[in-house]
Amino acid sequence: MSVPEAANTLVIRRRIEATREELFDAWTNPAGMRIWMCPGSISSAEVEMDLRIGGSLRILMRDTAATYEHHGVFTVIDRPAVLAFTWIAKATDMHTTLVTVEFIERGEIDTELVLTHERWPRSEGRDQYRGGWTSILDKLAAFLRVRN
């Protein structure tokens, strides 16, 4: 029996055909993230990061109508197991939320990725992000398939 999400938490699980190291490295490579960090109708992303605890993360996502800015700081960098960073955006009402990405080995080249996005100030924003993060993980899996 699965435990229901807390009202301020979003959890997405996805098995991806890649090693933990490949997945972790994909999440810490700005050049690659520009390709797959594009949910839904987003056509491009700019990614800047200072990959260290306390280092900054800035992602600008663009579609034909608007630019969406996201920023935060890295709080956990434990290659290849866990990456965590704060996430501040218009959809979070500019509140500081927390994204934790866990990489759990399930086979030689099979990894379960668990993305937890918590501290949501309201459920509408959290629910909107469910589709966005799902789309991003689909594009990440496709990106890794093409590279391998």
Q: What is the pLDDT of residues 32-80, one digit of tens each?
A: 999 999 999 999 999 999 999 999 999 999 999 999 999 999 999 999 9
Confidence grade of residue 124 (pLDDT, cut at 50, 70, 90) = confident
Domain annotation covers residue 18: yes
Residue 44 belongs to some domain of the structure:
yes
Mean pLDDT of the chain, nearest integer: 93
Residue 1 domain-assigned? no
| Owning domain of residue 107 | 9-147
Q: Is residue 4 domain-resident?
A: no
Q: d(Cα 88, Cα 127) in Å, to the nearest integer?
A: 16
pLDDT number for residue 147: 67
Burial of 68 (0-12, 13-18, 19+ CB in 10 A): middle
Share of the chain above pLDDT 90, in %: 85
90 confidence band (pLDDT: 50, 70, 90): very high
Q: Is the backbone peptide bond immediately before 30 cis, with ω within 30 degrees of 0? A: no
What's the pTM?
A: 0.92
Amino acid at 6: A
Confidence of residue 132 (pLDDT cuts 50, 70, 90): very high
Angle between helical axes of 20-27 and 123-147 (0-180°, round to 10)? 120
Q: Is residue 59 part of a domain?
A: yes
| Domain count for the chain | 1
Question: How would you classify the pairing of strands 56-62 and 44-49?
Answer: antiparallel
Residue 3 lies in a domain: no
Alpha-carbon distance values, 15 to 79, 109, 137 (Å):
18, 10, 10
The reported pLDDT for the residue numbered 7 is 77
CATH of the domain at 66: 3.30.530.20
Domain presence at residue 2: no
